[in-house]
């Protein structure tokens, strides 16, 4: 009689489930061993040359200056790296904003019914998509900003001073009472948001157009004007003016920053334009026809029907382009803008151990990229079709 009390399966060394787990465990162990061996290799060789394989050097005084900033050579190496991160964030943040705006405009322009506009946009996209971004940045630096006259004899336009060391634009300067003014502006912004929500509710209730943007702007302006008068003109305009070798006043945009930003924005915008065009063309034709049938103007059609649906498709690849822009900012080493890769290179050249510094650099880029990816994923989830 067959023994039916306990199920008899294959022995464990032939059992597929055990083998699967064992196989994965063995593979993990192999990878772990390999990584550990590489690490030991590095540490042993560093020790043999008398280089300490730890991160203590980050608190040593840097000894070098970071051009274009107020960084003092007495601060630590880690502070220098943070200055680099700030510069990278500056160029990446502004670059992402400008590239999105320009890319959107050019992308929509590529589908325009106006022949000149359409051809012009196509020319822009086809040219700048096919030039390596490094060459574009070098061109902007060597052929544009460096060709400007020196600061002893700059180009002076009303409110602008342009020289090969930078571009000075009009700015605001703070006078006593500026703090209260900024506080009032903050309160005005909060009030504007409240007004916008109220107007939306009015529309939901009565069906009349909300004009919430107009109302909110009106509130902000009214509060700003009142605060300006009450606090006694706390901000004044700061126009740059040039004497001898210095330019006083205004806000200075570094020449290298400008060249890097221009190169990155022009390049990335050409890619984003293609993404926008593709995403608009992916919206079914029926939507456009239905919108025309409802007597919406082309502008309204674009704004209320086509673009919201196109945006959904465009977000993942555009997030990709943002990541590319952030990483491409490291090409600033070619023109000397002190973003984080350049600062790390200078630090390595001045006696800080290379393996640890590169590890720090990679960690920084990883953090930045994961941050941008997180925001993109958030947007993606929010705009996704709920039915899926």
Partner 1 sequence: MLARRLRLMGPLLVLALVATGCPADEGGDGGDGGGGNLLQTITDRGQVRCGVNDEVPGFGFVDEAGNYSGFDIEFCRAVAAAVTGDAGNVEFRSLTSEQRFTALQGQQVDVLIRNTTWTATRDGTEGAAFAATTFYDGQGMMVRADSPFQSLEDMRGTNICVLSGTTTELNLETQFQARGIEYEPISLETNEAIQPAFIQRRCEGWTSDRSQLAGIRSAWPETEGGPGALRILDLTMSKEPLGPVVRDGDARWYDAVNWTVIATILAEEHGITQANVDQMRQSQDPDVQRLLGTFRTEEGSTFNPGLGLPDDFAYQVIKQVGNYGEIYERTVGPNTPLGLERGPNDLWTRGGLLYGPPYR
Minimal distance, residue 123 CB to partner 1, in Å: 30
CA atoms within 13 A on the CB side of 323: 18
Structure tokens at 197: 């929500």
d(CA 157, CA 250): 13
Minimal distance, residue 51 CB to partner 1, in Å: 5
Minimal distance, residue 58 CB to partner 1, in Å: 13
Nearer to partner 1, 43 or 160 (CB): 43
Structure tokens at 204: 């939901």
Nearer to partner 1, 246 or 387 (CB): 246
Which residues lie below 8 Å from residue 117, measured CB to CB, with a gap of 6+?
Answer: 109
Nearer to partner 1, 52 or 384 (CB): 52
Minimal distance, residue 164 CB to partner 1, in Å: 5
d(CA 258, CA 162): 11
Minimal distance, residue 63 CB to partner 1, in Å: 5
Which residues lie below 8 Å from residue 40, measured CB to CB, with a gap of 6+?
Answer: none
Minimal distance, residue 41 CB to partner 1, in Å: 4
Nearer to partner 1, 122 or 164 (CB): 164
**Nearest 10 degrees: CA dihedral of 241, 243, 248, 252?**
80
Helix (H, G, I), strand (E, B) or coil at 177: coil
Minimal distance, residue 330 CB to partner 1, in Å: 14
Nearer to partner 1, 155 or 230 (CB): 155
Binding stretches for partner 1 (CB under 8 A): 19, 23, 26-27, 29-30, 33-34, 37, 40-41, 44-45, 48-52, 57, 63-65, 67-68, 73, 142, 146-147, 150, 152, 164-165, 245-246, 255, 333, 336, 345-346, 348-354
Long-range contact list for 372-381, CB < 8 A, 24+ apart?
372/319, 372/322, 372/323, 372/326, 373/319, 373/323, 375/319, 376/315, 376/316, 376/318, 376/319, 376/322, 377/319, 379/315, 379/319, 380/315, 380/316, 380/319
Position of tokens 């960690």? 363
Query: Phi and psi dihedrals of 162, rounded to 5?
Result: -120, 130
Minimal distance, residue 360 CB to partner 1, in Å: 15
Nearer to partner 1, 326 or 356 (CB): 356
Minimal distance, residue 220 CB to partner 1, in Å: 39
Alpha helices, H only, 231-305? 255-281, 285-293, 298-301
Secondary-structure percent of the chain, ordered helix, strand, coil, rounded to 5: 65, 10, 25
Structure tokens at 138: 């070098």
């Amino acid at each position: 009689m067959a023994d039916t009390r306990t199920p008899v399966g294959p022995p464990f060394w032939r059992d597929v489930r055990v083998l699967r787990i064992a196989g994965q465990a063995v593979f993990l162990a192999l990878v772990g061993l390999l990584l550990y061996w590489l690490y030991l290799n590095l540490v042993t060789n560093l020790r043999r040359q008398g280089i300490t394989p730890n991160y203590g050097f980050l608190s040593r005084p840097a000894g070098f200056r970071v051009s274009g900033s107020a960084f003092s050579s007495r601060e630590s190496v880690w502070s220098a790296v943070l200055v680099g991160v700030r510069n990278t964030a500056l160029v990446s943040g502004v670059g992402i904003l400008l590239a999105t705006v320009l890319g959107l405009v050019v992308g929509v322009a590529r589908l325009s019914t106006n022949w000149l506009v359409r051809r012009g946009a196509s020319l822009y996209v086809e040219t700048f998509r096919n030039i390596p971004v490094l060459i574009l940045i070098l061109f902007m630096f060597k052929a544009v900003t460096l060709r400007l006259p020196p600061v002893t004899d700059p180009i002076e336009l009303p409110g602008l001073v342009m020289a090969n060391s930078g571009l000075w634009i009009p700015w605001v300067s703070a006078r006593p009472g500026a703090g209260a003014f900024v506080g009032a502006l903050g309160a005005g912004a909060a009030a504007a948001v409240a007004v916008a929500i109220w107007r939306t509710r009015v529309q939901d209730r009565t069906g009349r157009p909300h004009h919430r943007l107009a109302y909110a702007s009106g509130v902000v302006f009214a509060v700003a004007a009142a605060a300006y008068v009450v606090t006694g003109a706390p901000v004044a305009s700061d126009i740059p003016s040039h004497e001898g070798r210095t330019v006083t006043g205004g806000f200075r945009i570094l020449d290298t920053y400008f060249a890097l930003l221009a190169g990155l924005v022009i390049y990335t915008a050409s890619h984003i334009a293609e993404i926008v065009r593709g995403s608009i063309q992916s919206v079914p034709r029926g939507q456009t026809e239905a919108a025309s049938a409802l007597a919406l103007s082309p502008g309204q059609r674009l704004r209320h029907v086509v673009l919201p649906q196109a945006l959904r498709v465009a977000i993942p690849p555009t997030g990709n382009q943002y990541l590319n822009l952030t990483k491409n900012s490291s090409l600033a080493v070619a023109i000397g803008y002190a973003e984080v890769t350049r600062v790390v290179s200078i630090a390595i050249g001045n006696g800080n151990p290379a393996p640890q510094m590169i590890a720090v650099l990679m960690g920084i880029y990883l953090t930045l990229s994961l941050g941008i990816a997180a925001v993109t994923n958030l947007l993606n989830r929010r705009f996704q079709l709920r039915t899926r």
